[in-house]
Chain A
Amino acid sequence: MRQRTENFYAGRSVEVQYNHDSRGEDGEKKTRDALVGLEQKNRRECVNRETEELWQLANQYFERDAVHLAVADRLSGIPSLIYSLLMKSVLRQFCIFCLGAVISIQPVLSCDVSDDTNFPRSAALAKRTNRPLLLAFIGTDWSISSLKLDREVFDQAEFADDSKYNFLLCKLQFYQTQERSLETIRQNEELATQYNVQEFPTVVILSPDGREIGRLGYISGGVKAFAAAANAIIAKSRQQEQH
C-alpha cells in the first residue's frame, strides 16, 4: 500500500500545469464552441428561412451585402447583431482582427506548460511528497544561459520523467520584456533577496523541509549533465543527514 501511495505521488511537478492545461484547453474549447455555435445558429436560421431564395437574390443582384443585410434583418436581436457585425464590410476587418487575436492566443496558451511558478505551493508539495525542490531563478528574455538552461533542460520531456529524476521544479522568471504580474514580481524578488541571488541563472536546491542544500548555475550537456549534478548534491546532503 505504501509503495502504491509513493508511486501515486511519484509524478514530477506540479499541479499548476493542470490549471494551465485545463485553462488552455477550456479556452480553446470555448472558442471552438462559440465559433461552431455561431455557425450553427446562422446555418439553422438560413436553412429555416429559405436559403435558396436568398441565394437566388444574390445571383440576381450579384451583391453579397444585400444578402447579408437580408439575412440580418430576418434574424432578430443578438444573432442579427453578430451577423451584421460579421458581414458589414466596414466592421468585417475588426471582426477578422478579433478572430486573428483569438487564434493568435491559441499557440501561446497551448505551449505554456511551464512548471510551477508559485513558491508556497511548490514548497508545500515538496514537503508533502518528501522530495527536493529546485528553485530556478531565470530570465529567459535577457540572459542567454537562462534561455539555454530552460530549453536544454527544463523544457525537455525527459527532465519531467519522474522515474529518473525525482525532484520538483519551481521556475521563477525575471522577465524584462515579457508581461509580468506584480504579485509574481514581489514573490520572486523576495526569494531572490532571501537566497542572495547574484548571477543568472541560479538554481537553489532545497531539501524537502526547505533548507538550502546547494546551488547550481548553467551546466552544458543537457538534461543528463544537469540532473546528475543536482542528484549529486542531493545524495551528499542525504549522506550527511544520516551521519
Chain B
Amino acid sequence: MLRPNSLRHQLGWLLLLVYITLRPCYGQAQQTVAQLAGKIDSELAAILSMSSSTKKQQLSASLVHHVTGLKEQSIMVFGGRREQLEEKLQQLIQSCENWQSGSSDEARAAAERARKFWSEIKSLYPKEALQLLPPLWSCPMHQELMKTAAGNCPICSMPLEPIYVTQPQLTESPIIGAEILADRPLEIGKRADLRIRLFFFDKSQPVALSDLEETHTHKIHLLISDITETDYHHEHPEAAGDGEYAFSFTPQRPATYRVWADLRPVRTHVQQYSVANIPSSTWRQAKLPENEPENRHAEIDGYKFELSFEKDVIHQRDTVAGKLRVTEPDGQPCRKLGVVMGAFGHFVGFGDDFVTVLHLHPTGPPVTDPEARSGPELPFYFRSNKTGLFRLFAQVKIEGKDFFPRFVLRVHSLQRLPRL
C-alpha cells in the first residue's frame, strides 16, 4: 500500500515551489505611456550635458529600453498614425545609438535629431495618454465622486476608498489573513472563548494593534455569522499577544460559523475583511435557504424594526437611500437609540454566497457624545454590485441593550434582455 506520507511531502514541496515562483508576480504593474514618456523626457534633457562614455552608454541603454517599452504600450494609437509612430520611434532609437557612438559633433547633431523626433512622437498620442493619472479616491456609495485625497464622502460621510486603477500599488485583495484557534468545538448555548490569529499574507508576520487603524472606535471588528445567516454577533477582541486576539460569543445555531475580521491596515489605509471559519462539533446539515422571501420587518422584545427604501425594487450598482424605523412595544416611536461605536446604529449585509459582506454606514458625522440619543429613524445608504439575496443586520442600542434585527433583501439584476 502506498504510504501517503511521502506523497504528501512531495506535493507539499511542489506547492511551496509554485508559491515562491508566483509570489513576485503580485503587485507588479506595467508602466504606462505617461510614466515612460516622463522618463524619456528627463533622459533627453540630460543628453547634451553628458560627457563620460560609460554614463553615455548607460543613458543610451536606458533610453532605448524605455522607447521599446513605449512602443509596446502604445495601444491608443491606430492605423496610419501607428505606422508613423513606429517609424519615428525606430528613428529615435537610431539617433540615440548614433549619439552614443559618434564623435562630439556627430553626437550633438544626433541628440538634436532625437529631441526633434521625440516632440513629433508626442504629438501623435491622444492628449491624456501623456498625462499621469493622479491617485484618486471615491465613495463606495457614490462612485461618480472622484477626489485627489483620502477623506470622508461629503454626501454620506463614509470613508473614501482608493480607485484602484489609479493606484496600482494598492490591491483590493486583503493583505491580512486570519485563523481561529479553539480549545474545544462550539456548543449551542454555551459561551465559547476563542482566539483569532491575524497575520500578514506576504511574510506571515503577526499583526500587532499598531499595524491597524481605528474605525468606529475600535481597531478590530469581528462580524460572526452562522451559515444560515441567522445568528449574527459583533465582537471586539482583546490583544492576547503575538498576533492573537481573544473574544467570546454564545452560538445559538447548530451550524458552521464564520468570522469576518473588519480591519484597516496602516500599510494601505484601506478597509478589508479577513475571513476564517470556526470549528464546530454542533455541525449538522445546515444550508442557507435559497428562496427565503424578502422581509423588511423584524420584532425583538416587543420593539418593532422596519426598513424602508426610496425605491421598491433594489437593483445592483444602484445606491438607494434607506431608513430604519424603530417603534416601542407600546406603539410609540422610539427616540432612545443610544450610541454604538460612534453612531446611532450600524448595518451589515451578508450575501447568499456566505462570502460577500456589504459595507454599509449610517449617514452623518461620527457621534462623540456618549449620552446622545436619536430616533425613531436611522438613515443610511444601501448599494450592492452583486445580485441575489442579502441578509441585512442592523445593530442598535436601546437602554443599554444591543438589538440585532434581521432583514432579507433581494438585489435585482439590471439586465432584462434574453440571450441571443
Least CB distance from A197 to B in Å reads: 6
B420 touches A198 (CB 8 A): no
Partner of B418, one of A15, A43, A174: A15
Query: In the assembly, what is the distance between CA of A184 and CA of B126, in Å?
Result: 21
In the complex, residue of chain A having the shortest beta-carbon distance to the beta carbon of B181: A64
Q: Among residues 171 to 186 in chain A, which have CB atoms less than 8 Å away from a CB atom of chain B? A: 174-178, 185
B283 touches A157 (CB 8 A): no
Q: In the complex, what residues of B have CB within 8 A of residue A140's CB?
A: 165
Least CB distance from A28 to B in Å reads: 4
Query: In the assembly, what is the distance between CA of A157 and CA of B413, in Å?
Result: 10
B355 touches A103 (CB 8 A): yes
Q: In the complex, what residues of A have CB within 8 A of residue B33's CB?
A: 142, 176
**Given known contacts A97-B201, A106-B356, A200-B76, is B4 in contact with A81 (CB within 8 Å)?**
yes
Q: In the complex, what residues of A have CB within 8 A of residue B184's CB?
A: 55
Least CB distance from B371 to A in Å reads: 39
A189 touches B177 (CB 8 A): no
Candidate in B184, B204, B386 with the most chain A CB atoms within 10 angstroms:
B386
Is B166 engaged at the interface, CB distance under 8 Å to the other chain? yes
Is B46 engaged at the interface, CB distance under 8 Å to the other chain? no
Q: Among residues 380 to 420 in chain B, which have CB atoms less than 8 Å away from a CB atom of chain A? A: 385-388, 413-420
Main secondary structure of the interface of B (DSSP, over half): loop
Q: What is the total number of residues of chain B having a CB less than 8 Å from a CB of chain A?
A: 77
B11 touches A81 (CB 8 A): yes
Is B54 engaged at the interface, CB distance under 8 Å to the other chain? no
Query: In the assembly, what is the distance between CA of A27 and CA of B16, in Å?
Result: 25
B201 touches A91 (CB 8 A): no
A113 touches B128 (CB 8 A): no
A157 touches B318 (CB 8 A): yes
**Given known contacts A85-B12, A144-B131, A157-B317, is B81 in contact with A80 (CB within 8 Å)?**
no
Is A1 engaged at the interface, CB distance under 8 Å to the other chain? no
Partner of A176, one of B75, B171, B386: B75
**Given known contacts A110-B386, A145-B128, is B414 in contact with A192 (CB within 8 Å)?**
no
Least CB distance from B192 to A in Å reads: 14
In the complex, residue of chain B having the shortest beta-carbon distance to the beta carbon of A35: B277
Q: In the complex, what residues of B have CB within 8 A of residue A142's CB?
A: 32-34, 76, 128-129, 133
Q: In the complex, what residues of B have CB within 8 A of residue A234's CB?
A: none
Is A237 engaged at the interface, CB distance under 8 Å to the other chain? no
Is A160 engaged at the interface, CB distance under 8 Å to the other chain? yes
B227 touches A36 (CB 8 A): yes
Main secondary structure of the interface of A (DSSP, over half): helix
Q: What is the total number of residues of chain A having a CB less than 8 Å from a CB of chain B?
A: 90
**Given known contacts A104-B172, A152-B144, is B8 in contact with A31 (CB within 8 Å)?**
no
Least CB distance from A113 to B in Å reads: 6
B420 touches A110 (CB 8 A): no
Encode B123-156 as 1/0 by CB contact (under 8 A) with A.
Answer: 0001111010110101000011010000000000
A193 touches B79 (CB 8 A): yes
B163 touches A147 (CB 8 A): yes
Partner of B281, one of A51, A84, A106: A51
Is B247 engaged at the interface, CB distance under 8 Å to the other chain? no
B417 touches A13 (CB 8 A): yes
A176 touches B144 (CB 8 A): no
A39 touches B283 (CB 8 A): yes
Q: In the complex, what residues of A have CB within 8 A of residue B385's CB?
A: 110-111, 113
B354 touches A32 (CB 8 A): yes
A200 touches B129 (CB 8 A): yes
Is B292 engaged at the interface, CB distance under 8 Å to the other chain? no
B73 touches A15 (CB 8 A): no
Encode B314-334 as 1/0 by CB contact (under 8 A) with A.
Answer: 011111000000000000000
A222 touches B177 (CB 8 A): no
Q: Among residues 271 to 291 in chain B, which have CB atoms less than 8 Å away from a CB atom of chain A? A: 275, 277, 280-281, 283, 285
Is B256 engaged at the interface, CB distance under 8 Å to the other chain? yes
Least CB distance from A225 to B in Å reads: 12
Query: In the assembly, what is the distance between CA of A197 and CA of B76, in Å?
Result: 9
A147 touches B144 (CB 8 A): no
Is A139 engaged at the interface, CB distance under 8 Å to the other chain? yes
**Given known contacts A97-B201, A101-B173, A147-B166, is B75 in contact with A189 (CB within 8 Å)?**
yes
Query: In the assembly, what is the distance between CA of A51 and CA of B283, in Å?
Result: 13
In the complex, residue of chain A having the shortest beta-carbon distance to the beta carbon of B311: A157
Encode A10-37 as 1/0 by CB contact (under 8 A) with B.
Answer: 1111110110010011001101100110
A91 touches B131 (CB 8 A): no
Is B174 engaged at the interface, CB distance under 8 Å to the other chain? yes
**Given known contacts A85-B12, A200-B76, is B355 in contact with A28 (CB within 8 Å)?**
yes
B138 touches A96 (CB 8 A): no
Partner of B128, one of A106, A143, A155: A143
In the complex, residue of chain A having the shortest beta-carbon distance to the beta carbon of B138: A151
Query: In the assembly, what is the distance between CA of A141 and CA of B256, in Å?
Result: 41
A15 touches B414 (CB 8 A): no
B419 touches A15 (CB 8 A): yes
Q: In the complex, what residues of B have CB within 8 A of residue A43's CB?
A: 280-281, 283
Is B21 engaged at the interface, CB distance under 8 Å to the other chain? no
Partner of A162, one of B12, B32, B81, B416: B416
Encode A70-88 as 1/0 by CB contact (under 8 A) with B.
Answer: 0000001100110011001
Query: In the assembly, what is the distance between CA of A25 and CA of B413, in Å?
Result: 12
Least CB distance from B396 to A in Å reads: 28
Q: Among residues 167 to 183 in chain B, which have CB atoms less than 8 Å away from a CB atom of chain A? A: 168, 171-174, 177, 179
A77 touches B19 (CB 8 A): no
B417 touches A100 (CB 8 A): no
A147 touches B133 (CB 8 A): yes
What are 12 A-B residue pairs whose CB atoms fall within 8 Å in the complex? A9-B417, A77-B4, A81-B7, A85-B8, A100-B174, A104-B171, A106-B355, A144-B134, A157-B316, A160-B317, A177-B168, A196-B78
